[in-house]
Amino acid sequence: MDLRKFLEQLDSLKELEMLEGADWNLEIGAITELSDEKNGPALLFDKIKGYPAGHRVVSNLLGTPRRWGVAFGLPSDIGPTEIVLRAKQKLTSLRPVAPVEVSTGPVLENVQEGDDVDMLSFPVPKWHEYDGGRYIGTADMIITRDPQGGWVNVGTYRIQLHDRRTLGWFTSPGQHGRQMREAYWAQGKACPVAAVFGAHPLVWMPSFLTLPWGSSELEMVGGLLGEPLQVIKGKLTGLPVPAHGEIVIEGECPPPTVETREEGPFGEWPGYYGSGVRKEAVIRVKRVMYRRNPVIVGVPPLKPPASANATYIVKSAQIWSEIEKLGIPGIKGVWCNRSGGGRYLTIVSIEQKYAGHARQVAMAAMACPTGAQHGRFVVVVDEDIDPSNEEDVLWALCSRCDPAEHIETVRNCWTTPLDPTLSPEKRAAGNISNSRAMLLACKPYYWKKDFPRVNRASDELREQTRNKWKARLPGLAR
């Protein structure tokens, strides 16, 4: 449950690069972008300009399927689709384990309270050139409690650093954290909030998943770890916070009638500045806890495919699991394409069992909780297509999809204010919706046996040939 153990694992696999002397102002962001685009290593920044040694930032932490495999405890040599399958199996079989409260932990090694609170003492990056400020919350855990039922929610939302004791908090409509804070505001109260800015990937992961109202992300963490997550009860909020978190704050989010600040703009996951400067809620920071030599985890949204690197493996696994829970058979693979930011393009590979099967799968992928949020395209392909192979998918789309017969659209679907296709008129009217397209790139079920044969050597012949000639032609080796 400790981020530092994970960093040690990456270092032993030569998947971590340590860099000294970078500037928090744009340089860390630019290095991250250039490395992320090339599937480079995780980057641990130290001796950041203007900050003492030991105040660190890590980025590109989960930039490759292999690093997600390491986080899940999987062998480091298995392929991307196998990692998604294993992750899906883990999510499907997961049994929630309640967190255990402890009296102390590494996060209490340093504490700031009251006038001593200083969020500027941490090297928070300005990630993109046209951002409106510095953002500490890109891979965070924002912890709130439902004022009615007492359920604790953990979500990932963007958090801007305003000043020593004030953070900005933006969250899209429909998110549980937003609903909870609005419930407090309706009572004329400030919403108690805690936030974690650095945790092990499996501790953070449930925060960005789409779970049903009332589900516990902290219990899901326990199920992923195979042991209870150790938490400390917040002194000011009473909220449970991870004992091994890197930086944890406690504070309150007052109603907008009491205080707002200008927030943004911020370069977001679709690869655009989806919104400009606007008044948003704030978090008044009352208490800060942090470890010695703290590490901020940065997962800045970048122009796809880099933007999807931290989430697409798990989102693929979750959609696969959610489709199967509906009782739909024959799912062979799911891939949330990185070029679509891990959200806009979902590919599902199936073994067709009956007429209408492909369309049923497409509709399920669009409507399941994870697929419904901010999607745009669903492509369904046959089992001979690797959904993670973009060239394979495009070939199937070009050769098996008849546009007049196999493309359908659905209107008025759930999207986000960050959607770059929202017109000014729709934004002004508060109509935060988009359309979806399903593309069936499968052989037509009712005559698939008569579909032309693929002109590709059999697997047996390919393996035979590879073994015979790989010494002379190294490129033939796997």
State the amino acid at position 444 in one-letter form.
P
What pLDDT, on a 0 to 100 scale, did the predictor assign at position 183?
97
Report residue 90: phi and psi, to 5°.
-65, -45
**Mean pLDDT, consecutive 10-residue segments, the chain of 478 residues?**
94 95 96 90 97 97 88 85 90 92 97 97 97 96 95 96 97 91 97 98 91 91 94 98 98 97 92 88 98 96 76 91 95 91 92 96 95 91 95 96 96 89 90 94 94 91 91 82
**C-alpha distance from residue 132 to each of 129, 173, 233 (Å):** 9, 21, 34
What pLDDT, on a 0 to 100 scale, did the predictor assign at position 75?
85
Distance CA 113, CA 129 (A): 33
What pLDDT, on a 0 to 100 scale, did the predictor assign at position 307?
63
197: nearest Cα among 252, 122, 267 = 122
The CB density around residue 215, as the number of other CB atoms within 10 Å, is 15
Domain ranges of the chain: 97-298, 311-450
Provide the CATH number for the domain formed by 311-450 in this structure. Answer: 3.40.1670.10
What pLDDT, on a 0 to 100 scale, did the predictor assign at position 41?
94
CATH topology of domain 97-298: Pnp Oxidase; Chain A (2.30.110)
Distance CA 37, CA 34 (A): 5
Sign of CA dihedral 131, 133, 134, 139: negative
Output DSSP code: residue 336: E
- pLDDT tens, 313-353? 889 999 999 999 999 999 999 999 988 888 899 999 999 99
Is the pTM of the predicted complex or chain greater than 0.85?
yes
- H helices of 289-422, in order, are 312-325, 357-367, 369-372, 390-400, 403-406
Contact 120, 247 (CB under 8 A): no
Q: For the chain, give the number of residues.
A: 478
What pLDDT, on a 0 to 100 scale, did the predictor assign at position 50?
97
